[in-house]
Structure formats: C-alpha cells, structure tokens
Chains A and B, each alone.
Chain A
Amino acid sequence: MDLGWLVLVSILKIAFVIGVLLLLFAPVLVLAERRQSAFFQDRLGPYMGGFPMPRALLDAIPYLVLGAYVVAALCGVMFAISLAMVATGNGQDVLFTEPVFGIEHTWGGLMLVFFPLAVIHLVAAKILPFLFFDGRLTIFGGLHALFDAIKAFTKEDIVPPRGDKFLHSIAPIIAMVPAFATAAVIPFGPTIYVDYLLEQLPADGAIGGTAIDIQVANLNIGILYIFAIAGTGIIGAAIAGYASDNKYALLGGLRAASQMVSYEVTLGLSLVPMFMLYDSLMLPDMIRWQGEHVWGVLVNPLAFVLFFTASIAEYKRVPFDAPEGESEIVAGYFLEYSSGKWLMYMMGEFIEVAVSSAIIAVVFLGGWEVPFLTRAGWEAFGYRFDLTGTGFDVVSNVANSHLFIIIVQVVAFLAKVMVLALISIQVRWTLPRFRYDQIMSLCWKLILPLSLVNILVTGIFVLLFQQMGW
C-alpha cells in the first residue's frame, strides 16, 4: 500500500467511525433516552418534531402498504411453485438451467431479487404508518432529537460574568474529545481482504493481498489507550466546575474528579483477568479468541458485572451521577452551561454510552463474532451451509461470500452495542442515585477487592490450564 492509499483509507475509517457515532448512536440514544423513559412511565414522550409531507405522498401510503402485501404474496406463490417443481424433481432443469426469455438463470435470479424485495416491502408496510403522524414525517418521534439539537444550538450562549471565559469555553471540548478519541481503537468489523470481496475465504491460513481493518488504529497497547484517554475526561468536568464561578458547579466538578479518578483504578483492574485470558491487549485479538473459544461473559461473568458497573460510574451515569445530582447541586459541573456547550456535554455523554458499550461488546460479548459464522462462511456442528448442486447454489455462494459476512458481522456488532446501550439507558431510568459516600465505598471497599480476587483466581486457573496443556 502506498502512502496516498493509506491516508485515504484512514480518512474513510475515521469518517466511518464518527459517522456511526454521530449519525447512528447519538440520535438513537437521544431518542431512547427520551422515549424509552416515557413509555415505561406510561407517557408518550416527545413525538411532535417532524417535517410536513406533501398530501399526495400521505395519501399514497395505504396503496404502498397494499402493494407490499401483493408483492409478498406473489413471492410466496413463486416460492411455492419453485419448491413444488424442485420437490417433484422434474422442474429443476426448467427452473434453474433452462433459459427463460432467452436469459439463463432467470428463475434463480428473480428469486434472489424478489425475496429481499418482499422482505423489505413487508417491513416497510409494518413501519411506514409509524413514520408519519398528522401529516408530518416524524420517524416515530426520532426527528424530535434533531429539533432538540437545533433548538439547543440556537439558544443564547451564556458565560457567567465572573467565570473564566477561556476555560469555560474549552471545558466542553476537553470533555467531548476523549469520547470520540476512545472510539479509535474499537474494531467495528473483521479484516477486509479487498482482493477477495466476492469470494469465499479459506477457513484458516494466512491470506495475501491488501487487508484493511475496520478500526482506525490497531494499537498494540489497545485497551490501555482507552483507559488513558478516558482518564482525560476528568479534566473537562473539573475545569467546567472551576470555571463556572458557581459553588454547586465547583462541588460537581470536585465530585466528578474524585469519582472518575477512583473508578479509573477499578475500571482497569476489573479487566485484567480478561487480558490474562486473551493473552493480548489488542481488541481484535480478544474478539478472535472469543470466536475460537467462547464469549468472555461466559468465561468470567464477575469481571463483566464489575466492569459494567465501573464503566457506568466512570462515565458518571445514573446511578452514579452524583457529580450532576439535580436534587443536591442542581446540575453539577455543567450547571452554568447553555446552548451548544451544554449540547457538547450531552453529546459527549451519549457517545460515551456508545463507546463504553462497544468496549463491553468487544471484551465480553465477542465483538463482531456471530455464532456459527466463521471467516469461511456459516457452519454449525461441522455442517457447512452449502447448497452447491441443489439449484440454490447462488444463495449459499452469496451467504458465504466475504463481503456478505463482513456486512453481517458489522451489523451484529452494532446491534450488540445498541442493545448494551439501551440496557444502560434503562439502568438510568430504573435505579435511584447512590449517595456520594456509597459510590466511594462501593469503589474502594467492594469492586476493587473483588477485582483483585478475580485477578488471583483467574490467574490460578490460567496457570492450571497452561500446565495441563489446554
């Protein structure tokens, strides 16, 4: 790879990561935060924001839905005819090898086109009516997040008259940048072998040609980089508290600083057993280990619970949000923030939710590994998904192709992260806030000793297994 190509690929990767964080996770999590909480409190939540749609489009929706069912029914009929002809054994040649309208593989091709089409149509028919409300495109309330952001940005930006203007302005940036920077080492998918995109990869062995990781930087210190960068988030909160010229903000900044410093320790220590198991600090190596053996959460559930707790506390989220405790110190360290600066704190928090969920997904839930999906295709208990010679060989060729596997694995990873993020937002709306001394004693008296014990026990088992030659 020459330099220009490398730079281009790196820029594309960075754009991908930032795009996923900003365009996928931020809006979805804002929406989840506001509507998920509403639904289980028996409210509807914000749903109003939307773009007015032309009348003609709105009137066409019932016909689109009807069309979806017609297409799906046609597909069902086609599928039934094909199955019947294949089953009776006399139709296979007609279906898949005889040219129709002078074109070869017409039936197989039509099936391949029509099935995804039918699925898309049926899903659309189910979803379409929910996207619109009262003549507006609201996307189930999703656009409300966008309008919230626009509203926040266009509000007046107030700096306290006796606050430090420079520090006050730079603090939200310092708080938000680590959230994005930690995303640099997260692998969103497996290595792409550009030369073999449409082919089936061999099950094992090295593969030549150009290889691209779906990861901005595969550092050999891997997860230590995440801890290092996440640690700098403390500065943002502490400076915000200091620069606001407000005693509540100062208290919040102090609480944030001490809490984050404390949980920084447990955050690292609770993951040490996993490093020992995986024998690597690099995140892709951890995922490959889990793909070959079993997901980390099953190997060491205690580490999962400890790390999940510590990561919630490290990112100052409920129930560990004493730094912003509304009932005691109003809003804590970002009390004096408004407009875009406040939005940066909020966005940083949501990106942190996504990033910490991604780290948990990588270390404990197998990252982009999907059960029964190997590099060479779908495989369960020694049986390979292979339809060669049955007439449906196109299907298995596509399903086992490198490109399709990459897409499935990236989507699986994003789905895991999304589920974890939604759970941690649900935690936010379920558990009441801990008292500040409880947070501290939980950290130093419970999680820290438990993670040390976990290191000891895991170390003993790892040594045992090594001695037994496993």
Chain B
Amino acid sequence: MAYAIKKPGRTVADQSYVVEAVKGLGVTFKRFFQNTIGPAENRKTATIRYPEETREYPERFRGVHRLTHRVDGSPRCVACLCCSTACPAQCIYIEPAEYEADDPRHGYERYPRVFVIDELRCIFCGFCVEACPCDAIRMDTGTHVPASWKREHFIFDKETLMSIPGKDGTYVTANPRHEPGDPTHPGLDRDKAH
C-alpha cells in the first residue's frame, strides 16, 4: 500500500548550517581526543606502525617455504619431484642425487643435490606442500618473503630454505619420520623380501 514518506523537517538551526557544522566539529574532535589523549582501551586506531610493529599472521597463512630437517639435520626431501610437478608456477627446480654408497639410504631413496625455489615466481598456492609425500616442504613459517633490492636475493637455494625455522622455531615437523632400518619403517627395503 502506498504511503507518504515523512520528510524530516529542517529547522532554522539546520538551515543556518552553523549549528550542524559545530556539531560535526564536536564529533571529529571527540574522536580525535579519544584516539590521542584518551585512555588506551577506548582507542579505535586501526593502523599500526608497520615495519617496526607487525601483526601475527593467521595459523593457516601460507608463508615463505622451508625444507624440514631429519633428526640428523639432513633434508627430509627425497627428491621425488612431486612438488615441482605440482607447481603451477614452475618455480621449483630440483636436481636429485644418490646418497653415498656407505649410507643406509643408498639405493633406497635419493636426496636433492640442488633445491631452488624462485620466490618471485611462486604464487604461494601451497600445492607443493599438498603434493609432498614426506612432509619435507612446508609453508608454516608465519612470515613472508623478506623484501630485498636484488633479484638474486629471491632465488632461495637448499641451504636458505633449510635455514628458515617453522612458526614454532624448530626445523623438524611434528610428523614422525621412519628411517629405513627402523622397526617402525612401513616400507620395503633391500633386506626384506617382497
């Protein structure tokens, strides 16, 4: 049903604009003093002094990559190339290599002789983390790639990636690693028959 909309009446004070302008000034001044000299809990300031003060990223934030360590400090990565295959930006370059002959892992699994991520190419989709069967590459560092002034500084090699700790400060992951030869190791090895 049609009905007449009642227009708000305008008083002389509204029309003169002076009263309303002073009211407006009151609003802005109140907010100004609230955010400057008022008690800290009433402040509504939304911004921070960024480079010096930082906010914590959310838990599932995909930050800069890291390569997790085994207990002995070697990379967990077995150079299966799953991550570089899954990578839509093709920013991962891996050169696999065999362990030395006296290493128990020789002939069983490989290790990355070269593991390079071009952080400028990376789109931080997290597919490499999803693809990794060994939990060797993770993005749980809670930081982003630091700014730099040289293109080369963004090409992270294996040592750089392994030097970045996780958000909890450790270099390993919470997931257990069953080395070949461990009784818990579920896989096949040379001594066990098929």
**Residues of A with Cβ closer than 8 Å to B?**
36, 39-40, 42-44, 47-48, 133-134, 305, 423, 426-427, 429-431
Contact = CB atoms under 8 A, between A and B. Distances in A.
B50 to A, nearest CB: 9
A1 B21 CA distance: 51
B24 A431 contact: yes
23 contacts: A36-B32, A39-B35, A39-B36, A39-B45, A40-B28, A40-B29, A40-B32, A40-B35, A42-B45, A42-B46, A42-B47, A43-B47, A44-B49, A133-B52, A134-B49, A134-B52, A305-B18, A426-B28, A426-B32, A427-B21, A427-B25, A430-B28, A431-B21
B94 to A, nearest CB: 41
B46 A40 contact: no
Question: What 6 A-B pairs come out closest when comparing CB atoms?
Answer: A40-B31, A40-B32, A39-B35, A134-B52, A430-B28, A42-B46
B25 A423 contact: yes
A426 B45 contact: no
B192 interface: no
B4 interface: no
Nearest to A36: B32
A42 B44 CA distance: 6
Nearest to B30: A40
Interface string B31-75: 110011000000011111100100000000000000000000000
Contacts of A42: 31, 35, 44-47
Interface of B: 18, 21, 24-25, 27-29, 31-32, 35-36, 44-49, 52
Contacts of B45: 39, 42-44
B147 to A, nearest CB: 16
Contacts of A431: 21, 24
A429 B28 CA distance: 8
B49 A47 contact: yes
Contacts of B18: 305
A385 to B, nearest CB: 31
B52 A44 contact: no
Contacts of B47: 42-44
Contacts of A43: 45-47
A426 B25 contact: yes
A150 to B, nearest CB: 21
A430 B23 CA distance: 10
A175 B29 CA distance: 31
Contacts of A430: 21, 24-25, 27-28
B60 to A, nearest CB: 28
A36 B28 CA distance: 10
B21 to A, nearest CB: 6
Contacts of A427: 21, 25
Contacts of B32: 36, 39-40, 426
